[in-house]
């Protein structure tokens, strides 16, 4: 068991009430921090006032990108109890990402203890209005200072917390997506499976061009053939063809989303046919032409489910379900958010209570 030192903030603030919460702009009073030094391992776990880190201009992660992160959520139920959605899934993925970036493995039980200790301290920051949550951002970066390219010998891990508002303020708004045929996000053998800043850096130019063209998001194709569907970049993508849910298999260049996993588990438990396989963009357009493409939606922690209303590939546009939210996407959204908010019984044990 780790012993976590606590330094309380002298000045604290509180969850703003009667004010719209914007994603990731305000942070709670405290954060968890821990260091790693070769020979010593992970050490000095502590909860300290939220604040800046001094940065050496020669810090390795700044120059060479050795960093990983996670994104998960805590919720408040109507009976005023507080919960985290599938914490071990996210923490285990954090370690898998660490492997890809050659960041030292963390003891998942220790990080879990750290997270729940921090959340217990900050629990008043967990909002309770419908659709709101406390977003949890763990991150590890190489903080050794020197300019030679190498695996670092020192790291910092931190966990910061940010109360967030409802992703959909006025109900679902199906998004218009550009199927990207110029840029690629990841290749097999690369970093696509890791939650690492590099994958986001890769996506910026494509995202910006797509925004300028009036699209809401980019759908990535595989880097080799430029024909197989991968993911949306902050979300995985799922299709409903003739009653069957189909999503790209985790092939080494796609991030294995916890929401994707949750959706697939849920579909299987409901007796709905699910396939994880290769899907070409042609197949999607052909299914649409034949009237077999019923729904398209993204899955990710931030939005949970995000219906896709239009897909444009090489200038050709298809409109899905009349640009309306599909029944199945709505059902998944209602079920998952229902369990998260405590309105629906947690039969799958997704929620872990924050005690103390």
Ligand X SMILES: *Cc1c(COP(=O)(O)O)cnc(C)c1O
- The verdict on 71 binding ligand X (CB under 6 A) reads yes
Q: Are 166 and 38 contacting, i.e. CB atoms less than 8 angstroms apart? A: no
Instruction: Out of 61, 132, 176, 199, point to the residue binding ligand X (CB under 6 A).
Output: 199
Q: How far is CA 35 from CA 113, 189, 274, 279, 344, in A?
A: 16, 29, 42, 42, 39
Nearest to 319 by CA among 221, 181, 176: 176
Q: Report the nearest approach of ligand X to the CB of residue 192 (Å).
A: 8
Nearest-angstrom CA–CA distance, 98 and 174: 34
Residues 255 to 274 in contact with ligand X, rule: CB under 6 A:
255, 257-260
Q: Looking at 126-134, 253-261, 276-284, 325-333, which segment touches ligand X (CB under 6 A)?
A: 253-261
- The verdict on 217 binding ligand X (CB under 6 A) reads no
Nearer to ligand X, 64 or 69 (CB): 69
Q: What value, to the nearest 5°, has the Cα angle with vertex 90 and ends 175 and 1?
A: 160
Nearer to ligand X, 104 or 257 (CB): 257
Residues 21 to 50 in contact with ligand X, rule: CB under 6 A:
none
Q: Report the nearest approach of ligand X to the CB of residue 239 (Å).
A: 16
Q: How far is CA 111 from CA 40, 88, 181, in A?
A: 17, 10, 40
Point out the residue whose Cβ comes nearest to ligand X. Answer: 257
Nearer to ligand X, 63 or 261 (CB): 261
- For residue 93, how far is the Cα from the chain centroid? 11
Q: Report the nearest approach of ligand X to the CB of residue 255 (Å).
A: 4
User: What are 178's strand-pairing partners?
Assistant: 218, 312
Nearer to ligand X, 63 or 137 (CB): 137
User: What are 48's strand-pairing partners?
Assistant: 31
Q: Looking at 209-217, 251-259, 274-282, 345-353, which segment touches ligand X (CB under 6 A)?
A: 251-259
Nearest-angstrom CA–CA distance, 253 and 193: 5
- The verdict on 299 binding ligand X (CB under 6 A) reads yes
Q: What value, to the nearest 5°, has the Cα angle with vertex 280 and ends 274 and 282?
A: 120
Instruction: Out of 97, 176, 301, 340, point to the residue binding ligand X (CB under 6 A).
Output: 301
Nearer to ligand X, 199 or 337 (CB): 199
The Cβ of residue 140 has, within 10 Å, a number of other Cβ atoms equal to 26
Q: Which residues have C-beta within 8 Å of that of residue 230, sequence separation ≥ 6? A: 185, 186, 192, 219, 220, 221, 222, 248, 253, 254
- The verdict on 235 binding ligand X (CB under 6 A) reads yes
Q: Looking at 43-51, 207-215, 234-242, 281-289, which segment touches ligand X (CB under 6 A)?
A: 234-242
Q: Looking at 135-143, 250-258, 267-275, 332-340, which segment touches ligand X (CB under 6 A)?
A: 250-258
**Footprint on this chain of ligand X (rule: CB under 6 A):** 71, 195, 199, 231, 233-236, 255, 257-260, 299-301
């Amino acid at each position: 068991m780790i012993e976590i030192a606590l330094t309380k903030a002298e000045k604290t603030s509180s969850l703003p009430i009667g004010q719209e919460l914007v994603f990731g702009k305000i942070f709670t009073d405290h954060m968890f921090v821990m260091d790693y030094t070769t020979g010593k391992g992970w050490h000095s776990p502590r909860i300290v006032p939220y604040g800046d880190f001094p940065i050496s201009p020669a810090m390795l992660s700044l120059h060479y990108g050795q960093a990983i992160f996670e994104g998960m959520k805590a919720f408040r139920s109507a009976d005023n109890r507080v919960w985290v959605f599938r914490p071990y899934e996210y923490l285990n993925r954090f370690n898998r990402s660490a492997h890809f970036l050659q960041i030292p493995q963390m003891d998942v039980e220790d990080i879990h203890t750290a997270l729940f200790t921090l959340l217990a301290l900050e629990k008043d920051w967990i909002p309770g209005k419908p659709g709101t949550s406390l977003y949890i951002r763990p991150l590890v970066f190489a903080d050794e200072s020197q300019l030679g390219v190498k695996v670092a010998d020192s790291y910092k891990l931190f966990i910061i917390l940010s109360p967030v508002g409802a992703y959909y303020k006025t109900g679902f708004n199906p998004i218009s997506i550009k199927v990207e045929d110029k840029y690629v996000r990841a290749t097999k053998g690369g970093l696509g499976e890791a939650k690492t800043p590099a994958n986001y850096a890769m996506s910026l130019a494509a995202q910006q061009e797509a925004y300028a063209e009036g699209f809401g998001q980019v759908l990535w194709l595989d880097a080799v053939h430029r024909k197989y569907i991968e993911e949306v970049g902050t979300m995985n993508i799922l299709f409903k063809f003739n009653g069957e849910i189909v999503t790209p298999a985790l092939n080494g260049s796609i991030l294995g989303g916890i929401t994707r996993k949750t959706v697939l588990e849920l579909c299987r438990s409901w007796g709905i046919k699910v396939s994880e396989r290769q899907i070409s963009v042609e197949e999607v357009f052909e299914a649409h032409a034949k009237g077999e493409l019923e729904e398209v939606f993204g899955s990710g922690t931030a939005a949970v489910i995000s219906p896709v209303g239009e897909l444009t590939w090489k200038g050709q546009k298809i409109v899905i379900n009349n640009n309306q939210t599909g029944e199945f996407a709505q059902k998944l959204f209602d079920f998952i958010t229902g369990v998260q908010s405590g309105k629906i019984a947690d039969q799958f044990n997704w929620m872990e209570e924050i005690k103390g």
